[in-house]
Structure 1
């Protein structure tokens, strides 16, 4: 008997005769049942305190749903795929009602990522159901984002209530993502160990080919089956990540959005993710005669980096659009506070964050304000190029307690003369390549900006892309790459 009383919740009952793979599915469903049950109890208490009666009653159904999921998972009639589908549908319905009633700002929309993660397990036994869940999440996410952009919440929360749910929802999803990531890392390691053991057995049997010929043939066949299973599992995982890519692309500004904001033919973006999804993102909005453009590089790349980009995009919407903060240095200060609050209570010692540059352009005052967290800005006026370096501390990734007295520096640029502005992450300059297989370096990147700055913006993007491809040649891309260029002149539209 286990010495830890909590382990009883996850131990397989004696009356269930499960394989090792089924043990893993049992653990996933049990974890989902316990976390869902506890999380909705917390939400029930909050909705009761905030007088949100409909959501309070809805949480009663959610609590009962996850209690049933936990119970039936331990019964003899258990069906882990069906139970995970039920949990995914409950999360989808719960998040949809929360967004519809309370609005987009409390961050209930990030729960749409949880069914996508559960689809990784569901796809092993029912690929069609997994695809349906992924497509449904994407459609609901885009539909609700569009709806809340034009309609006000039915039962809006006050500022304190919104802040509580912002932090709680981002923290909850972050913890769930960490748990699922650790689980799949464990599964991957176990699969690798199994393959090593099989290879060892094949080597031993090869020394006794004549006497163990039949056994060797059987082992070879089993190895082939496992290889096909791993290939199918990898395909399902890749398909799910591609669905996540669609969600990430949906929240990035489109080319038409950028043209409307900065003027047609006045803006270009070179965006090249290292993996399917990216740890870089760019963000642009207009607010009170100001036009704000953001370029950010989140910790890591791939799925972990992409999750941070969604958090960063959500926080920027809240800081700029909801709170009305448009000064770049103050936006960075607010992001620093949010990230410090978000990860300060984690038991996993998370040190994730982002390097970011922010520019606010006001065509009426003919001023550009800039602030950066490690990321710089380069601008060219009258053929002269200048670069302003960001402050030497990242968002979230620095020791915030020791830097709590520090504020980000605000820089001001006069744009009364024609100006070309470049904001970029470090992916291009840190890329290895060339004849000597060395980095491209920031100096060469700035010289490239000066060389191409008089070309039309579309041709500038083409030159950047071709230069990057020629430099990489056959070398693997080492990091996500994002470069945003903006042409500012007296003919630019001044409406935000």
Structure 2
């Protein structure tokens, strides 16, 4: 009996444990889901409630504010306040004011003469009085609201206040009356505070507490009138923190989140912002909306405990139903296990014992058409197929291994050929650079930073020494890598040909001739649009004893600095080979003594780096040149390379970089001639990268 019921009992117990284990998180998830649903609908309800009350408040208050602004902006009001002693203007004002009084919802208006401080107020009980009720004084603490209003930059404010002198508690609409920038006084209307609060709090839903606050959090409307921040709309400060909404929250973090929500609501009128806080020690869900016309915020505080997740009247019936379902499930599972699994397994057990005893006539229960029969047949077939597939798989692995080894060898050989070709191309490209000529003629009066992005690049520099002087320059061909290096070979040949044709003493003529030959050699209309053939070039001619230099550039400037001053001499606005051609012109300038002159391709300025990955930029580049202008040239180049590497950091080099700098000492010679001599400034050999 124990063996007979062992699997069934264990499977039933396992199912029971699985159901219980699944039921616990399911109940927790269900409880959380119900709580989330409750919060969702409560939030939506609070939002709709807030929007509805915003509209209910906006309509009457906006109407009263609009009437107050019309009343204060009336020509009659301004003329009377400008001349309060004029009997005709005074009579017209009070007759018009009486008409406005009938339109005001509060059936009252007020006006203040700024010059005298006289306060006029009329309501239904004193509609024909033309005498001031009292006179405002800066020394009276109860009158500070007026002077604070007139000192503010706002043209109006809405102030909830109890005027002790009038014995009136109203929502006052204070609108400034101005004439050509000069204050004339204050005028407006007022809603009865009790009626306003009754209308605001009418039909308040259970668990919801509506409030009105200003931008600083001062409470303008609240079910508890002791919370009202009276006169806060017209004064810069508050008498006590207890009248601000922030003071009702639990901690500073909640106050910060509330102020952030209020700020977002003011930035995005029409949107509601919710946050959970502890309001006067009780958990509440606050919904914040902004009324831009009134510069008020409507805040609804919802008590989430007012809507319980589960009610006891149907909780226990639910538990009993779940227990009954679980019992029926266990009984059905036990019966099904015995009928469908245990009985076929017992037959399979008897057959296996017979085969173990040597009775090979006994067969596995393969005659069944269900999964157990399929299992018996599949097991025997699987044993035969496994051996066959294993042999095939081993042979495939051996063949694939041989193929991968052959492919890897071919790729290695191809990589070696490519590396050797690039190394050879780099040697050829370095051979066209005039490093030896510069060292021979200029010695330590020049320095070069040449750093291609790849082994070969699209930048190179030129130097030509003649009996009259020196020609030197930097060329930045479009592209980099192998395409750029091929462009340098072609560009070098074109420039050499141009120098032979027009001479080395005229940089602008060299640029114009190079541009012409470049266009004649490379027909852009026959090339794909993706192939660029333009070149940025800067050339400098220095004539022996002349004390001046001639510069011409194509989108490449010449920098000059003595450590204190920085001069930037721009080249032409277009590069050589651009779609629209231009005629390049020479710029003749003095060759300053001890000044460092620099030509640089745009690879240095465009190099990405720094904290945000921006390019190095002209401003940083010019500051660097000025900072190191008085140092030896080799020291300058080393400093430039170090600063570029430090700025680049982990970023890859973006483009080829070439920087050529030189410096001369120009001194007068007898007979009125000028002699170019060299200013020692570093080691005997130039710095070349």
TM-score, with structure 1 as normaliser: 0.53
| Residue 243 in structure 1 maps to residue 424 in structure 2 | yes
1:427 counterpart SS class: helix
Matches within 5 A, 1:217-366: 217-254=398-435, 256-262=436-442, 264-321=443-500, 323-344=502-523, 347-349=526-528, 351-366=532-547
- 1:409, 1:209 → 2: CA distance? 81
| Residue 369 in structure 1 maps to residue 550 in structure 2 | yes
- 2:527, 2:639 → 1: CA distance? 43
How big is the shift at 1:451? 0.4
2:576 counterpart SS class: coil
Matches within 5 A, 1:35-434: 212-254=393-435, 256-262=436-442, 264-321=443-500, 323-344=502-523, 347-349=526-528, 351-381=532-562, 383-396=564-577, 398-399=578-579, 402-403=580-581, 406-434=582-610
| Residue 456 in structure 1 maps to residue 637 in structure 2 | no
CA displacement, residues 322-343 of structure 1 (integer Å, 9 cap, x when unaligned): 5424211111100110010001
2:655 counterpart SS class: coil
Q: Is the 8 A contact 1:363 1:494 kept in 2?
A: no
2:444 counterpart SS class: coil
Q: Compared with structure 1, are the counterparts of its residues 432 and 210 closer, same or farther at alpha carbon in structure 2 (3 Å cutoff)? A: farther
What residue number does 2:645 align with?
469
How big is the shift at 1:213? 3.9
What residue number does 1:3 align with?
none
- 1:467, 1:210 → 2: CA distance? 63
Q: Is the 8 A contact 2:563 2:629 kept in 1?
A: no
Q: Is the 8 A contact 1:372 1:391 kept in 2?
A: yes
How big is the shift at 1:458? 1.1
1:361 counterpart SS class: strand
Aligned length: 281
1:265 counterpart SS class: helix
2:605 counterpart SS class: coil
Q: Is the 8 A contact 1:433 1:472 kept in 2?
A: yes
Higher helix share: 1
| Residue 441 in structure 1 maps to residue 621 in structure 2 | no
How big is the shift at 1:453? 0.8
TM-score, with structure 2 as normaliser: 0.39
Higher strand share: 2
Q: Compared with structure 1, are the counterparts of its residues 213 and 340 closer, same or farther at alpha carbon in structure 2 (3 Å cutoff)? A: same
- 1:209, 1:379 → 2: CA distance? 78
How big is the shift at 1:442? 1.8
Q: Which runs of 5+ in 2 are unaligned?
A: 1-388, 668-674, 679-689
| Residue 483 in structure 1 maps to residue 662 in structure 2 | no
Looking at CA atoms only, which structure, 1 or 2, has the larger radius of gyration? 2
Q: Compared with structure 1, are the counterparts of its residues 362 and 419 closer, same or farther at alpha carbon in structure 2 (3 Å cutoff)? A: farther
- 1:371, 1:423 → 2: CA distance? 11
Q: Is the 8 A contact 2:562 2:629 kept in 1?
A: no
Q: Is the 8 A contact 1:261 1:285 kept in 2?
A: no
Q: Is the 8 A contact 2:503 2:510 kept in 1?
A: no
2:546 counterpart SS class: coil
| Higher relative contact order (CA closer than 8 Å, sequence separation 6+) | 1
How big is the shift at 1:393? 1.2
> Alpha carbon RMSD of aligned pairs, Å?
2.3
CA displacement, residues 156-209 of structure 1 (integer Å, 9 cap, x when unaligned): xxxxxxxxxxxxxxxxxxxxxxxxxxxxxxxxxxxxxxxxxxxxxxxxxxxx98
What residue number does 1:47 align with?
none
1:490 counterpart SS class: strand
2:606 counterpart SS class: coil
Q: Compared with structure 1, are the counterparts of its residues 332 and 214 closer, same or farther at alpha carbon in structure 2 (3 Å cutoff)? A: same
Q: Compared with structure 1, are the counterparts of its residues 212 and 367 closer, same or farther at alpha carbon in structure 2 (3 Å cutoff)? A: same
- 2:569, 2:558 → 1: CA distance? 5
1:409 counterpart SS class: coil
